[in-house]
Structure 1
Amino acid sequence: MENIEEPMDSNVPVILQSEKLAEYIVETAVYPREPQLLKELRELTQNYPRGFMGTSPESGQLMSILLKLLNAKKTIEIGVFTGYSLLLTALNIPLDGKITAIDIDRKAYEVGLPFIKKAGVEHKIDFIESPALPILDKLLQDPSNLGTYDFAFIDADKWSYVKYHERLINLVKVGGLLVYDDTLLGGFVVWPEQDVEASHRPYRKALIEVNDALATDPRVEIALASVGDGLTICRRIA
């Protein structure tokens, strides 16, 4: 049969606006499947100071699938904020699963704590109020921790991502995942530096360095997905 190309309406843009496409994704595939407690926590977080720091629900949806595919039981989270990703992880690991959750701000964590308690998953969480590096170094001092974590999620200070990676790579098992959030920084990573607002330049520089480091690390396989604000998924292979 002859291949006939259908005419394109000249009034329809060839490239969809990213905002419209993102809206379509969440309205069609994410929000209808989002658990009620996660939805309530997300909506509460939007009105919390710096609420934009919360994990995007589309990133969370992908993470929930990854956790289930891994049969993850022991996880670690660097950067908790109000706990959307923490609650999501707790809902997707077994009853006897454990999460080491590290953040400098317990006040923000306590915003999401009622939702965690209502979900009946508080017993899975060991929340540690501290900068992450000292805790990671302490975990590394115990040989029984090495290569025992199934999954790590990192959504904290971007200029420390490379330092976190060098520690977490030894805590996560071969075949486990390390997932870094916000690695596209709203697209600023591809903007010329002079076009980026001065306050965003340190973040842009840090994430470019992170992305380059992860892309060339022979210990992991990676996929940089344009989900949410960028989600880099690393599978440890060595």
Structure 2
Amino acid sequence: MVEHKAQPGWVAVEEYLSTAVVLPDAALQHAVQSAVDAGMPPIEVAPNAGKLLKMLVQMSGARRVLEIGTLAGFSAIWMAEGLPDDGRLITCEYLPEHAKVARANVDMAGIGHKVDIRIGPALATLAALAEDPAQEQPFDFVFIDADKENDSNYLNWAIRLGRPGTVIVMDNVIWEGAILDTSMDEVNAPGIVGALEMMGKDPRIDATAIQTVGSKGWDGFAIARVV
């Protein structure tokens, strides 16, 4: 498994940007602390990335958001804040104990009425969404941040559950450079590489990827648009 290492300067810059520009509110700060208190891994997106998700939701005019990977609800809160009051975010979480923490956090943030947390394997949840007659409207925005082995499967479902113009963001696509040497992490890296290559070849989407550094180490995200 890859160890994510952060340089002190990267963390200092990120903290400065968070306090000077991003300004996460008390509910978001509580969500991060609640994950620590619950013994969850500290793998939520950084505040500047969360704010970017919120702004992408707003700029895309999204009304229906799908998230794959809830954890403690940090990114869900950001994205739900970017939705109109009658917007809807469905987020997939495998572990009931994580979903319980996330539910409390989104409710505390005052956006719980926009958020539907589905518990269970994400692939099963996505398949159920596709078969549910109540889910007639496609998703406008999809955020993928779950087990990397299934990144290509999640991407395929994001396209299928979207529409032309749907924005898809996939987190953790650099993985400390393991995309260049999958032997660095034979569990996660092949899944990431498979999804990146799918983004470059699949005619249903147009995509790019950005590498980043910060408290989460050397990583990045990909962004795609369904065509």
The structure that has the greater radius of gyration is 1
Q: Are residues 1:22 and 2:10 paired?
A: yes
Counterpart code for 2:10: A
Which ranges in structure 2 are unaligned for 5 or more consecutive residues?
none
Which ranges in structure 1 are unaligned for 5 or more consecutive residues?
1-16
Q: What is the SS of the residue equivalent to 2:84? A: coil
Count of matched residue pairs:
216
Cα contact 2:182–2:189 (8 A) shared by 1: no
Cα contact 1:146–1:173 (8 A) shared by 2: no
- Per-residue CA deviation, residues 12-64 of structure 1 (Å, 9 max, x unaligned), is xxxxx972453244123224422221122223324543423222222212111
> Offset of 1:93 from its aligned partner?
0.5
Cα contact 2:99–2:119 (8 A) shared by 1: no
In 2, distance between residues paired with 1:81 and 1:154? Answer: 12
Identity of aligned residues (%): 24
1:2-17 equivalences in 2 (<5 Å):
none
* Residue of structure 2 in register with 1:117 after alignment: 107
Which of 155, 158, 162 is equivalent to 2:152?
Answer: 162
In 1, distance between residues paired with 2:164 and 2:134? Answer: 15
> Offset of 1:146 from its aligned partner?
6.0
Cα contact 1:103–1:128 (8 A) shared by 2: yes
Give the number of the structure with larger relative contact order, counting CA–CA contacts within 8 Å between residues 6 or more apart. Answer: 2
Relative to its length, the structure with more helix (as a share) is 1
Q: Are residues 1:75 and 2:60 paired?
A: no
1:171-190 equivalences in 2 (<5 Å):
171-190=161-180
Counterpart code for 2:43: M
Q: Are residues 1:203 and 2:193 paired?
A: no
For normalisation by structure 1, the TM-score amounts to 0.81
